[in-house]
Copies of this chain bind each other. A is one copy, B any other.
């Protein structure tokens, strides 16, 4: 089902960037879960912030309106409908691109598909739609933590030629998710500022760590924990590659190096990234997510206009030069949605 994620914890989203509202329906959420609005807002705020130190952002209030499925801050087991009105959609920013297809954006493929030119902020292809994912994902993330002690973390591990040093990295050091210490923060910001100065954008990599999953979650085929994670992560804007465990490095090495042996303490090495044969090992799930540079740049670019005549375009408006900072809560959300779905699947079959 096209606009639905998941098969047990099912998240259906709707809404376009410059439409009236964004929304979502969560169907299949167990009853009795505590809904922590503050936590959701905290994650929404991370998503909104982005590189806001550097760029004037679209300053949406993003006020959550719970329409159904929650009573006295607890889920009732019925579908949870939530909407957020778009209050600050400055469509005038888009007037200058009304007649042009923006390079790198889905404007043109969207047009090929629907024969409709929705020039106002990308419509359904806009990153604004990830707000619905953050809402559903924050509920999932909090529930995973409260009920199963499963914790989901994500951080910016590479931007252009700067890499975070994994060895010394401690999760409890991640204060504002891209600056475990002042040096990292500075380095990351410098790269972003530099690309801004050149009216350009820059790609990045995020690293995900999920701890606390018991062994046995996932299926051999085709509801693998890792294939579901890859699918849902690739559903996010700008993601161009996903890797589990040593992934790409594993493809260049030998079995004797790569195989993880089980010892009486469990797996001492976790090159597989916490999943073998689609099923969790009990070790941390480890993923890398590769983002292309933001498509909207302020440099003049080649393109065609809506009559397919060649032209130049200069994009204006409010755009992050790097998606990697705002993407942190989005990735945490999407993996939480995926993990809770696999756990519900597990529960439906393992009750004897």
Query: Residue among A113, A276, A352 with the most chain B CB within 10 A?
Result: A113
Q: Is the CB of B160 within 8 A of A252?
A: yes
Q: In the complex, A15 Cα to B81 Cα: how many Å? A: 7
Q: Is the CB of B277 within 8 A of A220?
A: no
Chain A residues numbered 56-107 whose CB sits less than 8 Å from any CB in chain B: 65-69, 71, 76-81, 83, 101, 103-106
Q: Does chain B have a CB within 8 A of A189?
A: no
Q: Is the CB of B255 within 8 A of A202?
A: yes
Q: In the complex, A79 Cα to B254 Cα: how many Å? A: 33
Number of this chain's copies in the complex: 4
Q: In the complex, A158 Cα to B248 Cα: how many Å? A: 11
Q: Is the CB of B67 within 8 A of A14?
A: yes
Q: Does chain B have a CB within 8 A of A250?
A: yes
Give which listed residue, B110, B222, B264, contacts A2 with CB less than 8 A: B222
Q: In the complex, A252 Cα to B202 Cα: how many Å? A: 7
Q: Is the CB of A216 within 8 A of B109?
A: yes
Contacts of A15 in B (CB 8 A): 67-68, 79, 81
Interface band, chain A: 35 or more
Q: Is the CB of B222 within 8 A of A4?
A: yes
User: Which residue from chain B places its CB closest to the CB of A223 in the assembled complex?
Assistant: B2
Chain A residues numbered 188-230 whose CB sits less than 8 Å from any CB in chain B: 195, 198, 200-205, 215-224, 226-228, 230
Q: In the complex, A291 Cα to B243 Cα: how many Å? A: 11
Q: Is the CB of A23 within 8 A of B106?
A: no
Contacts of A309 in B (CB 8 A): 264
Known A8-B348, A262-B101; contact A253-B293, beta-carbon cutoff 8 A: yes
Pick the 5 closest A-B CB pairs, nearest first: A106-B277, A348-B348, A231-B231, A201-B255, A109-B279
Residues of A near any B CB (own CB < 8 A): 1-5, 7-8, 10, 12-16, 19-23, 25, 27-28, 30-32, 65-69, 71, 76-81, 83, 101, 103-106, 108-110, 112-116, 118, 122-125, 129, 147, 158, 160-161, 195, 198, 200-205, 215-224, 226-228, 230-232, 234-235, 237, 240-248, 250-264, 272-273, 275-282, 290-297, 299, 301-304, 308-310, 321, 344-352
Q: Can you list 23 pairs linking A and B with CB atoms under 8 Å apart?
A: A2-B27, A14-B25, A14-B79, A15-B81, A16-B78, A19-B68, A23-B83, A31-B115, A67-B83, A77-B116, A78-B124, A108-B262, A112-B216, A125-B220, A203-B252, A224-B235, A226-B234, A243-B290, A251-B290, A257-B293, A259-B293, A344-B349, A347-B348
